[in-house]
């Protein structure tokens, strides 16, 4: 039994924040600097009353409409999010009801960030190969901007909110290959929201200065940019080599690379370190920013629609970040 990606769609919130708007708050920055280093010109922000669950529902409804998919044919729902609607129940269970998916379907949330799309594909493939499900709806949705401190200009320039929907099935447009997955919880504190959950439920109001001179707020998202950058340069080239070996594919036979769209500088560095041709390597965060677990699916959808990816191509996809975690596979279109 093989597993395939059958359909992909995505949803971006209505509110758009331009670099010009952002820099009104940070006049010491320049538009050119943000665009050149981060690679983002505009990003979408979820409305104050718009949740990851709301966005995931909109992405799923777009998927159903675009591909003529019936809700009653879905027999498993997975939602990747680190900003769930509630601590409990699983937002995926609520989405089963809201989307009109049968009560015979399984549903759960899983808490992963930038590698979440890859992990989700691995689980979905496992469900299909094991005969547990035939049509798995994988949703990714994140509202990181709700976790950012107003003065955090770096992360506010990078992150955008968004959601993606993907149907994994017994047939489709791209066969899902073998996976390489990895985890290093030793780096957990390098990308974290410290308060609000069980370890420290109440806000502390505390902040400190990290080794790079950035202010670190307990009650908001903190990212140690240098540590994450170093982790990525260590993990991704090794993972890429392992993905090729596990799939029995030579590097020259990969037609296109769609990696997690972290930021332009990081992606360009990865491309150079891995010695990948510029015309085979996707970089496009201009209008979305880093949408965390949704970047790979958004990129794949755009590449398919623009004819960059077509039938007969081998495409390597990877995700890496918060956890710390990483994963990769090859899609055969």
Question: Does residue 150 contact residue 217 with C-beta atoms inside 8 Å?
Answer: no
pLDDT recorded at residue 179: 98
Q: What is the mean pLDDT of residues 213-219?
A: 90
At residue 37 the predicted structure's pLDDT band, cuts being 50, 70 and 90, is confident
In terms of Cα–Cα distance, which of 144, 183, 118 is closest to 316? 118
Active-site residue among 190, 224, 247, 290? 290
pLDDT recorded at residue 237: 97
| Cα angle 318, 322, 323; round to 5 | 100
- Alpha-carbon distance 20 to 313, whole Å? 39
Q: What is the mean pLDDT of residues 223-245?
A: 95
| Structural domains for the chain | 4-173 (3.40.47.10), 180-332 (3.40.47.10)
pLDDT recorded at residue 196: 93
Question: Does residue 52 contact residue 109 with C-beta atoms inside 8 Å?
Answer: no
Taking only the tens place, the pLDDT of each residue in 258-317 is 999 999 999 999 999 999 999 999 999 999 999 999 999 999 999 999 999 999 999 999
Reported as type and span, the H/E element at residue 238 is helix 225-247
At residue 29 the predicted structure's pLDDT band, cuts being 50, 70 and 90, is confident
* Residue predicted with more confidence, 210 or 92: 92
72-85 core/surface letters (b: 16 or more CB in 10 A; e: else):
eebbbbbbbbbbbb
In terms of Cα–Cα distance, which of 138, 165, 145 is closest to 63? 165
Active-site residue among 260, 263, 282, 303? 260
Question: Does residue 243 contact residue 329 with C-beta atoms inside 8 Å?
Answer: yes
- Alpha-carbon distance 278 to 10, whole Å? 26
The rounded percent of the chain whose pLDDT value lies above 70 is: 100
**Helix, strand or coil, per DSSP, at residue 290:** strand
Taking the model in full, what pTM does it have? 0.96
- Alpha-carbon distance 122 to 138, whole Å? 11
Q: Structure tokens of 178?
A: 């073998």
At residue 176 the predicted structure's pLDDT band, cuts being 50, 70 and 90, is very high
In the residue annotation, 290 being an active-site residue is answered as yes
Inform me whether the pLDDT recorded for 31 exceeds 80. no
- Alpha-carbon distance 79 to 90, whole Å? 9
pLDDT recorded at residue 214: 83
Q: What is the mean pLDDT of residues 134-162?
A: 96
- Alpha-carbon distance 203 to 201, whole Å? 7
pLDDT recorded at residue 210: 87
pLDDT recorded at residue 30: 76
At residue 36 the predicted structure's pLDDT band, cuts being 50, 70 and 90, is confident
At residue 143 the predicted structure's pLDDT band, cuts being 50, 70 and 90, is very high
- Alpha-carbon distance 9 to 24, whole Å? 33
39-60 core/surface letters (b: 16 or more CB in 10 A; e: else):
bbbbbbbbeeebbbbbbbbbbb
Q: What is the mean pLDDT of residues 141-162?
A: 95
pLDDT recorded at residue 297: 98
Active-site residue among 80, 114, 166, 303? 114
pLDDT recorded at residue 131: 97
Taking only the tens place, the pLDDT of each residue in 78-134 is 999 999 999 999 999 999 999 999 999 999 999 999 999 999 999 999 999 999 999
Question: Does residue 46 contact residue 145 with C-beta atoms inside 8 Å?
Answer: yes
Inform me whether the pLDDT recorded for 33 exceeds 90. no
pLDDT recorded at residue 212: 82
pLDDT recorded at residue 190: 95
Q: What is the mean pLDDT of residues 128-145?
A: 98
- Alpha-carbon distance 329 to 122, whole Å? 9
């Amino acid at each position: 039994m093989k597993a395939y990606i059958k359909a992909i769609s995505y949803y971006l919130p209505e509110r758009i924040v331009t670099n010009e708007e952002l820099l009104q708050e940070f006049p010491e920055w320049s538009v050119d600097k943000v665009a050149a280093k981060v690679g983002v010109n505009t990003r979408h922000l979820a409305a104050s009353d718009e949740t990851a669950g709301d966005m995931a529902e909109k992405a799923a409804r777009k998927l159903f409409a675009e591909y003529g998919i019936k809700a009653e044919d879905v027999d498993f729902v997975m939602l990747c999010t680190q900003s769930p609607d509630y601590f409990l129940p699983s937002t995926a269970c609520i989405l089963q009801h809201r989307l009109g998916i049968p009560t015979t379907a399984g549903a759960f949330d899983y808490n992963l960030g930038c590698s979440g799309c890859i992990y989700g594909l691995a689980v979905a493939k496992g469900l299909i190969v094991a005969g547990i499900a035939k049509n798995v709806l994988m949703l990714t949705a994140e509202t990181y901007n709700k976790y950012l401190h107003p003065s955090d200009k770096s992360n506010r320039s990078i992150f955008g909110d968004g959601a993606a929907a993907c149907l994994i099935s017994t047939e489709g447009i791209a066969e899902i290959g073998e996976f390489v997955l990895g985890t290093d919880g030793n780096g957990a504190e390098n990308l974290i929201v410290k308060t609000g959950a069980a370890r420290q439920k109440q806000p502390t109001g505390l902040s400190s200065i990290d080794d790079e001179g950035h202010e670190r707020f307990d009650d908001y998202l903190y990212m140690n940019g240098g540590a994450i950058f170093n982790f990525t340069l260590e993990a991704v080239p090794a993972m890429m080599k392992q993905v090729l070996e596990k799939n029995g594919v030579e590097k020259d036979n990969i037609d296109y690379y769609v990696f997690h769209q972290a930021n332009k500088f990081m992606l360009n560095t990865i491309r150079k370190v891995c010695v990948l041709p510029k015309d085979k390597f996707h970089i496009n965060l201009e209008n979305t920013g880093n949408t965390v677990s949704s970047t790979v699916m958004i990129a794949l959808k755009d590449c398919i629609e623009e004819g960059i990816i077509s039938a007969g191509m081998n495409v390597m996809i990877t995700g890496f970040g918060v956890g710390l975690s990483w994963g990769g596979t090859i899609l055969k279109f």
